[in-house]
A and B are shown apart, each in its own frame.
Chain A
Amino acid sequence: MADSLPDPLLRVENLVRSFGGIKATDNLSLDVLPGELHAIIGPNGAGKTTLISQLTGQLTPNSGTIHFAGRDVTWLPSYRRSRLGLARSFQITCLLPDFTAADNVALAAQAHDGHSFRFWGPARKERHLREAAQAALTRVGLAKRADVPVSELSHGEQRELELAVALATKPQLLLLDEPMAGLGVTESARMVALLKELRKEVTIVLVEHDMEAVFALADRITVLVYGRVIASGDPDAIRNNEEVKRAYLGDQHVVVSHG
């Protein structure tokens, strides 16, 4: 076929992860195509963060495989996956609190700029690292807050910084774990606008509770319930899927407008 689908950038097959008796990830399979924004939604406790953590290597699965860019990464530690181009933002902001915003981003750039067994030259004076940091901060709208310590940034700014840090690793695939969590209305709108820009450049997996954002952004949506995929498809298909309505959308009374 001439217009056959491209090879998936990320392929998850039969992934299982249980905690005690509970299967947080239950025989889960998932493909993410290059260039798409793939949203993962599901009620609380559906195992979304557990899935992301397995994708980035903070958790290892009990069984199943994860292929990234054609390579089996199931057992690679997270720092190796990051080098292959897999970046994540954390649901609960996970930054270096005693560093400035620019330092946080510059370190991410440094991690992907050769080894760091350099003991003599001052790292804060390496122009290209600082410039990379400034560029990433500018992208997320934090250019003016570069020299502010993370602990003094607002929650919304920290969420944006999370994104800048992930971007500075020059990822092929960006895994965003609830980037909108705890944001106000205007901040959320800014984040959505930002993601709309980013999706042109990088493949994104987006875990998000904000349905309006998800349906505005996603090319494809996968719905998780109790660690299992109950539906996967484009936003229209998901919107009209009876099982999804019952399991998730229905009881949240979410009204999703078209367009």
Chain B
Amino acid sequence: MKSHINARNVIVALVALGLTLLPAYSALTGNIFILTLFTRIVIFALAAASLNLIMGYGGMMSFGHAAYLGIGGYAVGILAHEGIGSGFIQWPVALALSALYALVIGALSLRTRGVYFIMITLAFAQMAYYIASGLSRYGGDDGLTIYKRSTFGGLIDLSNRVQFYYLCLACLFGGVYLIWRIINSRFGMVVQGVRSNEQRMQAIGFHANRYRLVCFVISGTICGLAGALLANNTDFISPAGMYWTRSGELMVMVVFGGMGSLFGPVLGTIVFLLLEEVLSQFTEYWALIMGPLLLLIVLFARGGIMGLLGRLSRG
């Protein structure tokens, strides 16, 4: 039996514990800023984890994942604007629209491979961006303020910082658990097999694209949930949130943390957004530091942070 106590697992456990206890720290020190920052981090971690499902495990380099953040967000924002404030309606709509978008985009994009797949997912996401910009009733380019967060019949108050944080954290942990179940299931084995060798999987009897497509839809739906959370977090939704640079950031978070590792995207997101926060206090050219850092990770730590930790564990 392999021991489960190694540097990697210890750090993952500590991070999970830290995230869970963060509101207590925030209350004790009166530091509200850190709670707001980490709410954002947790939401993006969920989005990155969903991207990792198709990118890391499925080998599908989607460059349009921000579209789901936008779709989930706009579903919440538009319904709120039209006077439907219940999360029991808003959130299922957000998930359903994300799933539908993923189904259509996936069915078209998955006919292609490699660079063409990257380009076509990017193109569709940019289309979604321009459609959102054209929604003049809902603010167009300027975006849409959400005056009231989703309500859940008094079960949970999203305007309460701590409650909202824990809701986001529950979604993150739930999402990561779901992804863990999926990758170890029959379905997950097929998806990873197709990433590894598509021709072989076809030859032994799998209709590869059907499995890819379902994986693509699951990933998009989870990211749509992150979008609904994000809209509630910022009380605002705008096309800028689905611009292609946002998709790029999500990819960077995944690569930072380690593609194809379960918890990697969470670590990647924490490091990425913390760095962004810290560096941008010193200089507005923070990307000048972030860029080379990413380069170093890609060149020398191919498994990202998780890969580094894994090597550490093996000593």
State the A residues within 8 Å of B (CB). Answer: 56, 58, 77-79, 82-83, 87-88, 90, 94-99, 103, 106-108, 110-112, 116-124, 126, 165, 168-169
B-side interface mostly: helix
User: Closest 5 interchain pairs by CB?
Assistant: A82-B205, A111-B205, A96-B196, A116-B186, A108-B204
B311 at the A interface (CB under 8 A): no
Give CA–CA (A83, B204) in the complex, Å. Answer: 8
A111 contact set on B, CB distance < 8 A: 201, 204-206
12 A-B residue contacts at CB 8 Å?
A79-B201, A82-B202, A82-B203, A97-B196, A98-B192, A116-B189, A116-B190, A117-B187, A118-B187, A119-B181, A119-B185, A165-B200
B102 CB to nearest A CB, Å: 16
Q: A90-B203, A119-B185, A119-B187 are in contact. List 15 more A-B contacts (CB 8 A).
A: A58-B199, A87-B203, A97-B196, A99-B193, A103-B189, A110-B189, A111-B201, A116-B211, A118-B186, A119-B186, A119-B188, A120-B181, A123-B184, A165-B200, A169-B204
Give CA–CA (A97, B187) in the complex, Å. Answer: 19
Among B181, B184, B186, the most chain A Cβ lie within 10 Å of the Cβ of B186
B176 CB to nearest A CB, Å: 15
B207 at the A interface (CB under 8 A): yes
Give CA–CA (A121, B193) in the complex, Å. Answer: 17
B273 at the A interface (CB under 8 A): no
Give CA–CA (A90, B197) in the complex, Å. Answer: 13
Give CA–CA (A6, B208) in the complex, Å. Answer: 36
Give CA–CA (A204, B201) in the complex, Å. Answer: 21
State the B residues within 8 Å of A (CB). Answer: 181-182, 184-190, 192-193, 196-197, 199-208, 211, 214
B203 contact set on A, CB distance < 8 A: 56, 58, 78-79, 82, 87-88, 90, 94
CB atoms of B202 and A77 under 8 A apart: yes
CB atoms of A123 and B185 under 8 A apart: yes
Give CA–CA (A119, B178) in the complex, Å. Answer: 9
The total number of A-B Cβ pairs within 8 Å is 99
B181 contact set on A, CB distance < 8 A: 119-120, 122
CB atoms of A96 and B197 under 8 A apart: yes
Q: Which of B182, B185, B200, B202 contacts A96 (CB 8 A)?
A: B200
B182 — nearest CB in chain A belongs to which residue? Answer: A119
CB atoms of B187 and A99 under 8 A apart: no
A78 contact set on B, CB distance < 8 A: 202-203
Q: Which of A83, A90, A98, A121 contacts B186 (CB 8 A)?
A: A121
A108 — nearest CB in chain B belongs to which residue? Answer: B204
CB atoms of B187 and A116 under 8 A apart: yes
CB atoms of B204 and A121 under 8 A apart: no
Give CA–CA (A96, B189) in the complex, Å. Answer: 11
B207 contact set on A, CB distance < 8 A: 77, 79
CB atoms of B200 and A95 under 8 A apart: yes
B186 CB to nearest A CB, Å: 4
Q: Which of B184, B196, B214 contacts A99 (CB 8 A)?
A: B196
Q: Which of A94, A165, A168 contacts B199 (CB 8 A)?
A: A94
Give CA–CA (A119, B188) in the complex, Å. Answer: 7
B185 contact set on A, CB distance < 8 A: 118-123
Give CA–CA (A170, B205) in the complex, Å. Answer: 11
B166 CB to nearest A CB, Å: 25
CB atoms of A110 and B200 under 8 A apart: no
Give CA–CA (A99, B208) in the complex, Å. Answer: 17
Give CA–CA (A99, B207) in the complex, Å. Answer: 19
B180 — nearest CB in chain A belongs to which residue? Answer: A122
B193 contact set on A, CB distance < 8 A: 96, 99, 107
CB atoms of A112 and B186 under 8 A apart: no
A123 contact set on B, CB distance < 8 A: 184-186, 188-189
* A107-B188 contact in complex given A58-B199, A95-B197, C-beta closer than 8 Å: no
Give CA–CA (A69, B200) in the complex, Å. Answer: 23
Give CA–CA (A129, B190) in the complex, Å. Answer: 14
B307 CB to nearest A CB, Å: 14
A126 contact set on B, CB distance < 8 A: 186
B225 CB to nearest A CB, Å: 17
